[in-house]
Amino acid sequence: MGTWNSRGLRGSTLEEMVNWTNDHYLEKGLALIQKIPTPITPVRMDADHKQITLAYFEKRSTVDYIGAVQGIPVCFDAKECVADTFPLHNIHEHQITFMTQFEHQDGIAFILIYYSERNELYYMRFEEMIRFWNRACDGGRKSIRYEELDPRFFMKPKNGYYIPYLDFINLDLELREEA
């Protein structure tokens, strides 16, 4: 089992932006997307601050978010990356399995990658993710270079906190129809 301890706010910037975006989409009646909490078992508590300082993951989580966008099932994970190279070990095999099964049920699975140094977000289509994953499984490169990504799927946060991922789901759907 993996462990969790308070190592700062890793990933919290992206998560806050996604959560705000999800609230915005819900208020506008465009989507219902929920954060999936990772179940943990607390081991050590800081009594003074009433915070968990050490815990064990009870089980592997699937993806960070799941819901529906105007009747279409959607699931996605949100990842942060400082460098221009995204290590594939940040995506876990059980997540690939879940997303593959989700896609087989006519859902849309994707990953949002936040390149924090560039302040850019990337919508990685499931098809693209699987191509990179299979390349690594076949003995190829174990990471994704920024230059390898499809320029059509880069976005900048709007107003510094809003992530327009619905626009990219639409583009994803258009490309699926063309195929």
Distance, in Å, from the CA atom of 179 to the CA atom of 160, rounded to the nearest integer, reads: 34
Binding site, residues? Answer: 62, 64, 77, 95
Distance, in Å, from the CA atom of 151 to the CA atom of 101, rounded to the nearest integer, reads: 27
Binding site for Mg(2+), residues? Answer: 62, 64, 77, 95
Model confidence, pTM? 0.82
Query: What are the pLDDT digits (tens) for 43-56?
Result: 677 778 778 777 65
Distance, in Å, from the CA atom of 174 to the CA atom of 168, rounded to the nearest integer, reads: 10
**Which domains does the chain possess?**
30-37+62-178 (3.40.1350.10)
Distance, in Å, from the CA atom of 172 to the CA atom of 157, rounded to the nearest integer, reads: 19
**Helix, strand, coil proportions of the chain in percent (round to 5)?**
35, 35, 30
Query: What are the pLDDT digits (tens) for 66-122?
Result: 999 999 999 999 999 999 999 999 999 999 999 999 999 999 999 999 998 888 899
pLDDT band at 7 (very low <50, low <70, confident <90, very high): very low
- Please give the mean pLDDT across all residues of the chain: 86
The H or E element containing residue 109 is: strand 108-115
Whole-number pLDDT of residue 152 = 97
